[in-house]
Homo-oligomer: A and B are copies of this chain.
Amino acid sequence: MMYEVKVYVTLKEGVLDPQGSAVKNSLHHLGYEGVEEVRIGKVMTLRIEAEKDTVDAQVKEMCDKLLANPVIEDYTYETEEVVSS
């Protein structure tokens, strides 16, 4: 089966996000004074050929080993079967 997996990797609360702060300052300069916080993370879209009962475990392993840094980042993911037409 083919699966499309979206992995969202975000900084843990309390971890400084200088990139987010820079974007917030830029937004203020553009006049969007109402922006109080910006946090920036990653979204990774993977297409994986795998068995239904192993895909979740595989994605979790990939996140723990490579896609996220568990010291400073959290991750979540959504798995969806790709229906070929």
Contact = CB atoms under 8 A, between A and B. Distances in A.
A6 to B, nearest CB: 9
Interface string A29-44: 0101011111111111
Interface of A: 2, 8, 10, 20, 23, 26-27, 30, 32, 34-50, 58, 62, 65-67
28 contacts: A2-B36, A8-B43, A10-B43, A10-B45, A26-B66, A30-B62, A32-B48, A32-B58, A34-B48, A34-B50, A34-B58, A35-B47, A35-B48, A35-B62, A36-B47, A36-B48, A36-B49, A37-B47, A38-B45, A38-B46, A38-B47, A39-B44, A39-B45, A40-B45, A41-B42, A41-B44, A41-B45, A42-B43
